[in-house]
Amino acid sequence: MKEFALKAALDEVRQSVPLVHCITNYVTVNDCANALLACGGSPIMSDEPLDVEDITSICGGLVLNIGTLNANTIQGMRLAAAKATQLGHPIVLDPVGAGASALRTETASELLDAYGISVIRGNMSEVRALAGASSTTRGVDVDPGDVVTEDNLAESAAFARDVAKRAHAVVAITGAIDIVATETDAFAVRNGSALMGKITGAGCMLSAVCGAYAVAGQDALLEATLAAVCGMGVAGEMAAARMTPACGNGSFRTYLLDALFNMDGNALEKHAKVEQL
Amino acid sequence: MKEFALKAALDEVRQSVPLVHCITNYVTVNDCANALLACGGSPIMSDEPLDVEDITSICGGLVLNIGTLNANTIQGMRLAAAKATQLGHPIVLDPVGAGASALRTETASELLDAYGISVIRGNMSEVRALAGASSTTRGVDVDPGDVVTEDNLAESAAFARDVAKRAHAVVAITGAIDIVATETDAFAVRNGSALMGKITGAGCMLSAVCGAYAVAGQDALLEATLAAVCGMGVAGEMAAARMTPACGNGSFRTYLLDALFNMDGNALEKHAKVEQL
Amino acid sequence: MKEFALKAALDEVRQSVPLVHCITNYVTVNDCANALLACGGSPIMSDEPLDVEDITSICGGLVLNIGTLNANTIQGMRLAAAKATQLGHPIVLDPVGAGASALRTETASELLDAYGISVIRGNMSEVRALAGASSTTRGVDVDPGDVVTEDNLAESAAFARDVAKRAHAVVAITGAIDIVATETDAFAVRNGSALMGKITGAGCMLSAVCGAYAVAGQDALLEATLAAVCGMGVAGEMAAARMTPACGNGSFRTYLLDALFNMDGNALEKHAKVEQL
């Protein structure tokens, strides 16, 4: 996959150690911090409105994850996003549970419309809700009717490109098949493991990692996001390969971080399954 | 233990994949989410008053855990509990640290009195505080004077039945010996491992799992709660059996999730040690 | 290292099981709770102003960690610190990210000035910011210009003693070389592993553990803090020794807790590398 420069994107993260400000949910925040460290970045978490502008200013990028948002953290997201936009920092938006509540849908939409979001990372139900497309929802999981399959791949890619066009952002819709798209290009990524859906936080971790890749690869956001998505998928496969009969989602969570930590650019390029659509 | 239908309760959870809304403390929230996934359910966490009614509406049940409560999350608990009560969803109450502070005791009591609580899950000190029985307390651990032993088992069971009667709920008091009771029946469960007290969150995880079992087994709440309690105890034994000399509470936490993940109904019925009192 | 009574300090923690109230960030709070359990203490987390005075009153000591602070938790810290000061409980202050934002620097300074802080535990950048020394900062990591080295060890020790004098506290500045100091004495600790910087929370866990050691060793705070710092360093070495090629920061985190859990006083004294400066 030399043409997508996956190895270069990974190496750039490890060499530059991007400092990433995360305003993220308290369910998976520890996993997000460890995932950022594993991939070669450095995390700092802060959500208090009085704190976020200073913190974002010393970082290279911002990740906004709306799981467990509250009135105070929403205000923190606004101030941090305004400051990051002003500073030209890439912002990753993870619309966790958009479609599951009015507050989540509206907050995600407001953040997308009002600030300079660079990357959107969610499952298909969340991205559909964010885009104003009608969607049922099953909490923080994708609705069965929204799953990307080989049969609806072209249609799903067209949708992703359309969202990317309207949002002026790279769109990463992840699931059994991932789609990464800009206005003009779309790619399918067929890496990963079903076990990633059996731990909490695989999506949140990916969004955090996308933040590090976006900082390091700000001039090539599509390639950077593709590298992050492929990297998480390959890490999922490596983690799954270590599972023994006694292992469950506790071990898988540990192994997933281990695999992110040990991933190198050559392994990433060797195992990535990327198809231009 | 065929008569308690433990296997049927477990299978029902795995087949129906209950979506459970948790308002829970930020110390063990990640463990609660992973425990719900491990047992076959699906978690969604939300505590903001503006968000909780929507979230509870798309779920099958609600878990209220008062560890690290604050003024905002207490209001979230009230609104979620009112909505869940109105919708007929089972609600699990975990009175973490009741007795350790006035705020915790009062909040737990208010939730119990004002809403349709289906299951109470706590240690003996917490349940005593919730019931208005005088109790000393040692933070979030059971007070030595409150421990259920073979000597006070009949008395403890009578207490549990009385709480169940007054609360119109199933009561699960867990410790070295667990008691699960309704107004008319009480059972002792003698599964588990002392290592469960050496990690944070074993009780919180059980309360979350009780939520999934209550949704799936809404018409047989006693059996469902017994299955959840036995399942956590058997998982603790399986996790303890994997410990090597280098292992400590870090590994035990991982192994406990693994055991929940791999538990099947036959193993549960084989290893459960349930006695009707 | 008999003269520092490391074994005695560890044994005292395991025998007295100190109950420690933590107001700490939500990123690493689970690790802090498990680290307290691993070292022999018992954690209770509470940050709501309406709750903290009751909780602190039943505990033996208080740990204030300003990572992810917000307006509500700052008020909780004030009330808890006032109560703990009044009760004569030792208070550990971890100024996470002091220097990275005005709110963090000011909050840490206010807490230090207004209440009876017994132990300060941070990296050199944070302690410099807390002390009003000019310092650049790199988020929650030490700034490269602030790293303690063999070359600046005497100067660093003098700074630590000066901070200790002005704060009337034991100061633990941790990094590749740790410094533990009072007004009159300073020690270098050369334990640990570089992998401790590749997980989130090694510093937070140490601060929590310092809380347990401070409660158990209230009459010999320097020795207690030295034992906690050495213990974490030796645990890091033991965890590193278990790493295999497939292991990354996921496994290291687990192994670090395991090592804290299994640490005994003899191993601690055998492996501790303490030098009086």
- CA B153, B157, B159, B163 torsion-angle sign: positive
Q: Under an 8 A CB cutoff, do B72 and A68 touch?
A: no
pLDDT for res C4: 61
Give the 3-state secondary structure of chain B: CHHHCHHHHHHHHHHHCCEEEEECCCCCHHHHHHHHHHHCCEEEECCCHHHHHHHHHHCCEEEEECCCCCHHHHHHHHHHHHHHHHHCCCEEEECCCECCEHHHHHHHHHHHHHCCCCEEEECHHHHHHHCCCCCCCECCECCHHHCCCCCCHHHHHHHHHHHHHHHCCEEEECCCCEEEECCCCEEEECCCCHHHHHCCCHHHHHHHHHHHHHHHCCCCHHHHHHHHHHHHHHHHHHHHHCCCCCCCHHHHHHHHHHHHHHCCHHHHHHHCCEEEC
Q: Under an 8 A CB cutoff, do C262 and B254 touch?
A: no
Long-range Cβ pairs for the range C238-247 (8 Å, 24+): C238/C262, C238/C263, C239/C193, C239/C195, C240/C193, C240/C195, C242/B246, C243/C195, C245/A262, C246/A242, C246/A255, C246/A258, C246/A262, C247/A258
Residue for token pair 């849908």: A105
Token duo for residue B77: 């608990």
- For C249, which of A19, A34, A47 is closest by C-beta distance? A34
How far CA B247 is from CA of A246, B38, B47, C254, in Å, comes to: 16, 22, 35, 9
CA C53 to chain centre: 22
To which H or E segment does residue C240 belong? Answer: helix C221-241
- For B45, which of A27, A198, A253 is closest by C-beta distance? A27
Which residues in chain B are closer than 8 Å to C54, comparing Cβ atoms? 100-103
Q: Which ranges of chain A have pLDDT less than 70?
A: 1-4, 134-139
In the three-class reduction of DSSP (H, G, I as helix; E, B as strand; rest coil), residue C263 is classed as: coil
- For C54, which of B28, B100, B251 is closest by C-beta distance? B100
pLDDT for res C212: 98
pLDDT digits (tens, 9 = 90+) for B261-274: 999 999 999 999 99
- For A200, which of B33, B46, B253 is closest by C-beta distance? B33
pLDDT for res A137: 63
pLDDT for res C2: 47
pLDDT for res C125: 94
Decide: B202 and B180 in contact? Cβ < 8 Å.
Answer: no
pLDDT for res A3: 56
Q: How many residues does chain B have?
A: 277
Q: How far apart are CA A65 and CA A143, in angstroms?
A: 19
pLDDT digits (tens, 9 = 90+) for C219-252: 999 999 999 999 999 999 999 999 999 999 999 9
- For B248, which of C33, C44, C257 is closest by C-beta distance? C257
Q: How many CB pairs under 8 A join A and C?
A: 105
- For C100, which of A58, A254, A260 is closest by C-beta distance? A58
The model's confidence at residue B4, banded by pLDDT at 50, 70 and 90, is low
Token duo for residue C92: 């550990």
pLDDT for res A138: 64
Which residues in chain A are closer than 8 Å to C205, comparing Cβ atoms? none
Q: Taking CA atoms, what residue in C is nearest to A30?
A: C27
Residue A212 neighbours by CB under 8 Å, 6+ apart: A13, A18, A20, A36, A39, A40, A41, A61, A228
Residue for token pair 């290291």: C252
How far CA C187 is from CA of A191, C174, C222, C223, in Å, comes to: 51, 11, 10, 10
Which residues in chain A are closer than 8 Å to C137, comparing Cβ atoms? 58
Which residues in chain B are closer than 8 Å to A102, comparing Cβ atoms? 54
The model's confidence at residue C133, banded by pLDDT at 50, 70 and 90, is confident
pLDDT digits (tens, 9 = 90+) for B11-56: 999 999 999 999 999 999 999 999 999 999 999 999 999 999 999 9
* Residue B258 pLDDT > 90: yes
Q: Taking CA atoms, what residue in C is nearest to B27?
A: C30
- For A262, which of C69, C139, C248 is closest by C-beta distance? C248
Give bridge partners of residue B138 from the DSSP assignment: B141
Q: Under an 8 A CB cutoff, do C249 and A38 touch?
A: yes
pLDDT for res C143: 81
Which residues in chain B are closer than 8 Å to A70, comparing Cβ atoms? 47-48, 51, 72
Give the 3-state secondary structure of chain A: CHHHCHHHHHHHHHHHCCEEEEECCCCCHHHHHHHHHHHCCEEEECCCHHHHHHHHHHCCEEEEECCCCCHHHHHHHHHHHHHHHHHCCCEEEECCCECCEHHHHHHHHHHHHHCCCCEEEECHHHHHHHCCCCCCCECCECCHHHCCCCCCHHHHHHHHHHHHHHHCCEEEECCCCEEEECCCCEEEECCCCHHHHHCCCHHHHHHHHHHHHHHHCCCCHHHHHHHHHHHHHHHHHHHHHCCCCCCCHHHHHHHHHHHHHHCCHHHHHHHCCEEEC
Q: Under an 8 A CB cutoff, do A248 and B259 touch?
A: yes
Distance from CA of A94 to the nearest CA of B (A): 15
Interface test with B, best of A25, A27, A32, A255 (most B CBs within 10 A): A27
What is the gyration radius of the CA atoms in chain B, in angstroms?
Answer: 17
Residue B219 neighbours by CB under 8 Å, 6+ apart: none
Q: Under an 8 A CB cutoff, do B255 and A250 touch?
A: yes
Interface test with B, best of A125, A249, A251, A253 (most B CBs within 10 A): A249
Q: Under an 8 A CB cutoff, do B250 and C261 touch?
A: yes
Q: Under an 8 A CB cutoff, do B55 and A25 touch?
A: no
In the three-class reduction of DSSP (H, G, I as helix; E, B as strand; rest coil), residue C103 is classed as: helix
Distance from CA of C96 to the nearest CA of B (A): 18
pLDDT for res B133: 72
pLDDT for res C97: 94
Q: What is the mean pLDDT of residues B132-136?
A: 68
Distance from CA of B218 to the nearest CA of C (A): 32
Q: Under an 8 A CB cutoff, do C42 and B141 touch?
A: yes
Token duo for residue A219: 């001039």
Q: Taking CA atoms, what residue in A is nearest to C197?
A: A37
Q: Under an 8 A CB cutoff, do B138 and C254 touch?
A: no
Which residues in chain B are closer than 8 Å to C55, comparing Cβ atoms? 97, 100-101, 139
Q: How far apart are CA C86 and CA A182, in angstroms?
A: 60
Q: Under an 8 A CB cutoff, do C258 and B246 touch?
A: yes
- For B200, which of C26, C30, C47 is closest by C-beta distance? C30
